[in-house]
Amino acid sequence: MKALTWHGRRDVRVESVPDPELKEPTDAIIRVTSTAICGSDLHLYEVLGPFMGEGDILGHEPMGIVEEVGSAVADLRPGDRVVIPFNIACGHCHMCDRKLYAQCETTQVREHGMGAALFGYTKLYGQVPGGQAEYLRVPQAQFGPIKVPEGPPDDRFLYLSDVLPTAWQGVEFADVPDGGSVAVLGLGPVGQMCARIARHRGHTVIGVDRVPERLDLAGAHGIEVIDESDADDLGDAVRELTGGRGTDAVVEAVGMEAHGSPAAKAAHTLIGLMPDRAAAPMMTRVGMDRRAALLQAIEVVRRGGTVSILGVYGGMTDPLPMMRIFDKGVTLRMGQAHVRRWVDDLMPLVADDSDPLGVEGLATHHLPLDEGPHGYEIFQKKQDGAVKVVLNP
């Protein structure tokens, strides 16, 4: 089969690799019909190379058609149309019983002290072959796959793999009071959906970004936007719109590669030039992130408010303004999305023919799998108006 594979910093290739096979009774094989490039994939493209292996298959946002199932998979059969959550969970361990699926104890990567295994996402998360391929082996298929109806296009359901549950959890964790306000920092795919979900739930939403296409897309969905590059002080700009207080909550949907962090950017560049054997310990022990978005979130939120962190971070020694956080009484919530936890909330919205969240219009680019490297390039460089790229094997 063909698959999109990692070969180094900004070097991904479409190659022929062996077809996946059933290995465990709880496995399934799906034929991938759509698979998206996630903003988190760009961290692999740029920063997290020390934790990748040459030839690793990328991707954690796939959907498709079931081809085979193992003997312990009772609820799936060949021909079923399914979306695959990005985290791999068993559904029955101590953590899964508490709906903390991103911490599944059956698939935790204990070798690295990490949570549940993820598709296509580094040695830290199990080095499981990803879904940017023609076929995908799905472990723990007795629980993970989400069956979806025939008929509507893939884009209606594809984002149940990651974008929508991550955005829903971000808004849940933000704990916005009824009739309250939330600022969404970063209007990439997850930030766009955070803003739409928050607005759908009746909150006042302010979206912040510096990319014109992202600002325009949010504005087209009724979101009040601030172009960060035009704001002398983002905190002042948000307080001006909120009676001088700041928003009740902030969703930080940017993460480790935020603009405005020159020292951390220099550290990322230095680590990128080092051999993996030296770079990996630096990342896990003394790594630093570009924290500009997180620091802005702490400044923007009102006193006593909540910051919900969705952006991926990898640093271990990032200094935080603890006095400021403590003095303002800010609550911080964060973590990988517990995908299956939120599916029942989201399914009625994506199945609604009126498409209230506008999922069918989120992708700006649909490309064949063979053009995956081009998709990564334009998404990473924010070229050609790329907000979300979907590959169709």
* Most distant CA pair in the chain, distance: 61
* Whether residue 369 sits in one domain with residue 315: no
The total of structural domains in the chain comes to 2
* Whether residue 374 sits in one domain with residue 320: no
Q: Which residues 6+ apart lie within 8 Å of 132 measured at CB?
A: 3, 4, 35, 37, 57, 58, 59, 62, 120, 369, 372, 391
Q: What domain range includes position 205?
A: 164-334
| Residue-wise pLDDT tens digits, 78-119 | 999 999 999 999 999 999 999 999 999 999 999 999 999 999
Q: Which residues 6+ apart lie within 8 Å of 340 measured at CB?
A: 85, 89, 91, 99, 101, 143, 144, 146
Residue finishing a domain among 315, 334, 353: 334
Predicted structure pTM score: 0.91
* Whether residue 91 sits in one domain with residue 56: yes
The yes-or-no verdict on residue 318 having pLDDT over 80 is: no
| Residue-wise pLDDT tens digits, 45-67 | 887 778 899 999 999 999 999 99
Nearest to 49 by CA among 269, 310, 266, 294: 269
* Whether residue 267 sits in one domain with residue 244: yes
| Residue-wise pLDDT tens digits, 147-190 | 999 999 999 999 999 999 999 999 999 999 999 999 999 999 99
Residue finishing a domain among 290, 307, 334: 334
Q: Are 85 and 144 in contact (CB under 8 A)?
A: yes
| CATH number of the domain where residue 261 is located | 3.40.50.720
* Whether residue 268 sits in one domain with residue 151: no
| CATH number of the domain where residue 137 is located | 3.90.180.10
